[in-house]
């Protein structure tokens, strides 16, 4: 049996290193969705710029933000429901007003279905 095709990779920058989560796309009774292949892996010495350049060189589209990035193949796939998008946008607006976000109002232009 062939290994599952990786369609999305999430990178989250933490104080301890970069968390990497790989996803495949499956079809089920509730429709098509992305499913994590394994638990997130912590990479203490990962050069994020190198990893994202590798992803782009291997056919992934990359989106970046101050605390991480996402690489995906093909057309972007929404990863959040309408309710999750609304809650995330409201949280980012509160954090931005409080001055808690790196990158200032960069966050205002994000697509909350796909980014961050």
45-98 pLDDT, tens per residue? Answer: 999 999 999 999 999 989 888 788 889 887 666 566 667 777 877 887 787 778
Pick from 58, 68, 56: nearest CA to 18: 68
Query: Which tens digits make up the pLDDT trace of 2-56?
Result: 777 888 898 989 889 999 999 888 877 776 677 788 888 899 999 999 999 999 9
The predicted model scores a pTM of 0.66
N-terminal to C-terminal alpha carbon distance within the chain:
33
CA dihedral 19, 24, 26, 31 (to 10 degrees): 50
Burial class of residue 30 in the structure, from the number of CB atoms within 10 Å of its CB (0-12 exposed, 13-18 middle, 19+ buried): exposed
The tokens of 8 are what?
């999305």
């Amino acid at each position: 049996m062939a290994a599952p095709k990786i369609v999305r990779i999430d990178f989250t920058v933490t104080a301890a290193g970069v968390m990497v989560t790989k996803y495949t796309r499956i079809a089920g009774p509730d429709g098509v969705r992305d499913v994590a292949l394994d638990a997130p892996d912590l990479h203490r010495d990962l050069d994020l710029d190198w990893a994202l350049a590798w992803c782009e060189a291997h056919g992934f589209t990359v989106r970046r933000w101050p605390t991480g990035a996402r690489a995906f193949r093909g057309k972007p796939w929404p990863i959040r429901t309408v309710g999750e998008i609304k809650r995330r946008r409201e949280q980012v607006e509160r954090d931005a007003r409080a001055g808690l976000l790196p990158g200032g109002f960069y966050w205002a232009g994000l697509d909350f279905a796909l980014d961050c």
